[in-house]
Amino acid sequence: MQRRVLLRIMMAAVLGSCGIKEQSAKGLKITVVGAGIVGASIAWHLARAGALVTIIDAIGPASHASRGTFAWINASWAKQPRHYHALSQEGVSGWGSLQEELSLPIRWGGSLEWFSNPERDRKLLDQIAEQVDWGESARMVNADELAVMEPNVNFHGALLAAFSGNDGAIDPVRATNALLDAAVNMGAVLRTPCKLLDISLSGNRLHSVETSLGTIPADRVVLATGADPATPKIIAGVDVPQRSTPGIIAITAPMPKLLNRIIVASGIHLHQREDGRIVMGEQDGAPDDQAHDMRLEGRPNTFPSPDMAVQHAARMLSIATKYVPGMAGVNVDDVFIGWRPLPLDGHPVLGFSPERRDVYLAIMHSGVTLAPIAGQLTAHEVINDIVVERLEAFRPGRDFETVKRY
Ligand SMILES: Cc1cc2nc3c(=O)[nH]c(=O)nc-3n(C[C@H](O)[C@H](O)[C@H](O)COP(=O)(O)OP(=O)(O)OC[C@H]3O[C@@H](n4cnc5c(N)ncnc54)[C@H](O)[C@@H]3O)c2cc1C
């Protein structure tokens, strides 16, 4: 049996065992704050279960990380330790189910990764062996295979690369909007621009949320507010320590098909979407100097001038062209600075606030990969007021250690 089919069956079993009871959702008023890909998935799962959902966003759908993301769906070697990797696997297989249900344009086909650094590439061999042990369809492929798999890519003499067969990539803005549309079709209300300002209690239970568009009655509120550090602190009384880092995403004009898979090369990540556009994600962060520190203050999503955006696009395109010569001369249509919602330990934050019992937090990196499973499990906990055991390691009240990983 193919691995993806097996994963789908496992996913169906997980969904079945969750058994969201529509009865318990009936009449339950839930406000989801944040219309990025995570909030959209949560809203859709809640609406599908029968809750009365209002989604609000201070700016609009997919306006922050869910726009400026590379959108690689994966459970790769970097997803450590095992329990986080397992959650990521559930995210990957969850996209398979969502793709069918919502007709989403996901490019499957796997990823190819290598480091152009002999020592690092040797370590990759061990990491891929571990991936196999953990149930991934991963293997090392040699130069001859690489040439067949990606005839338009120059691997610069790499003898081996890691092929992770389950990986895919998505258009995150389309996916977010598709989830929101599906939620609205099930009765959810989407209100933007609408900023959450405060909550009102009746006794010790949530009564309503106060927003820039007025009061919204609510029994529960879910904060899917991404990298914004303030909202969880003010509303949930929880300080989720984040080390949000910026990353530039540049998207070309549509091109004839050049790439079959996600290319994870030294200095640049690339994938080609169904619409023919190639997405470039830079690997190195901004230089560590005062000029950049000043420019990045306030976490801008755009560059101070169009010229600067053009310069960054040209720099990324010149790296990309080294690997994919056919990209030479293509126009870059969009350049965006994304800020990673990145809890200090690199792991998602999922669970009710230890301080405010009706306020649930859903803040995470790799939120594109995790959106389906995060949406499903959040809806389950929020509606049924129960505890999903395998989320225990990801609670907001944990001690956050500093780890350098995404
Ligand atoms: C450069 C980059 C590359 C990435 N690459 C990948 C990848 O390849 N694979 C992967 O899985 N993940 C990747 N990620 C991470 C992923 O994009 C994020 O984890 C995901 O988009 C988070 O989605 P979200 O909905 O939680 O947050 P966001 O998309 O940031 O949405 C949060 C929303 O909350 C709203 N908000 C905040 N506060 C309030 C308030 N008080 N009131 C109302 N609204 C509010 C904001 O307006 C925003 O729209 C990447 C991220 C970046 C930046």
What is the C-alpha separation between 79 and 346, in angstroms, rounded?
Answer: 9
Task: Kindly give the distance from the C-alpha atom of residue 147 to the centroid of ligand 1, in angstroms, as a whole number.
Answer: 35
Q: Which atom of ligand 1 is nearest the CA belonging to 37?
A: 25
Q: What's the confidence (pLDDT) of residue 287?
A: 75
Q: How far is CA 343 from CA 34, 124, 181, 224, 311, in A?
A: 17, 25, 29, 13, 31
Ligand 1 atom with minimal separation from the 67 CA: 29
Q: What is the pLDDT of residue 394?
A: 97
Strand partners, 239: none
Predicted local confidence at residue 2, as pLDDT: 45
Residue minimizing CA distance to atom 4 of ligand 1: 69
Q: CA of 296: how far to CAs of 84, 132, 211, 285, 338, in Å?
A: 30, 40, 28, 12, 11
Q: 64, 263, 316: which to mutate for ligand 1, most atoms within 8 A of CB?
A: 64
Distance of CA 75 to the CA centre of its chain: 12
What confidence score (pLDDT) does residue 94 get?
A: 98
Query: What are the distances in angstroms from CA 293 to CA 43, 282, 286, 287, 289?
Result: 36, 18, 9, 9, 6
Prediction pTM value: 0.94
What is the C-alpha to C-alpha distance for residues 145 and 21, in angstroms, rounded to an integer?
A: 49
End-to-end CA distance of the chain: 32
Rounded to the nearest angstrom, the distance between the alpha carbon of 3 and the centre of ligand 1 is 29
Q: Looking at ligand 1, which atom is closest to the CA of residue 248?
A: 1
Name the closest-CA residue to atom 20, ligand 1.
367
Burial of 374 (0-12, 13-18, 19+ CB in 10 A): buried
For ligand 1, atom 3: residue with the closest CA: 69
Cα–ligand 1 centroid distance for 93 (angstroms) = 20
Ligand 1 atom 31, closest CA: 36
Q: What is the pLDDT of residue 402?
A: 80
Instruction: Tell me how far the alpha carbon of residue 270 lies from the centroid of ligand 1, in angstroms.
Output: 20
Cβ contact 214:79 at 8 Å: no
* 230-236-241-247 Cα dihedral, nearest 10 degrees: -50
In whole angstroms, what is the distance from residue 216 CA to residue 402 CA? Answer: 37
Angle between helices 367-384 and 82-102 (to 10 degrees): 90
Residue nearest to atom 52 of ligand 1 (CA): 69
Q: So what's the pLDDT on residue 296?
A: 81
Could you tell me the distance, in angstroms and rounded to a whole number, from the CA of residue 133 to the centre of ligand 1?
31
* Test site for ligand 1: of 57, 67, 69, most ligand atoms within 8 A of the Cβ: 69
Rounded distance, CA 31 to CA 19, Å? 22
Q: From first to last of the 406 residues of the chain, give the pLDDT tens digit.
A: 344 434 443 443 444 434 444 567 889 999 999 999 999 999 999 999 999 999 999 999 999 999 999 999 999 999 999 999 999 999 999 999 999 999 998 999 999 999 988 899 899 999 999 999 999 999 999 999 999 999 999 999 999 999 999 999 999 999 999 999 999 999 999 999 999 999 999 999 999 999 999 999 999 999 999 999 999 999 999 999 999 899 999 999 999 999 999 999 999 999 999 999 999 999 777 777 887 877 788 888 999 899 999 999 999 999 999 999 999 999 999 999 999 999 999 999 999 999 999 999 999 999 999 999 999 999 999 999 889 999 999 999 999 988 766 6
Question: Which amino acids bring their CB within 6 angstroms of ligand 1?
Answer: 33-39, 56-59, 63-66, 68-72, 195-196, 224-228, 231, 247, 249, 281, 338-341, 364-369
Q: pLDDT value at position 292?
A: 80
Q: Which tokens go with 62?
A: 């997919």
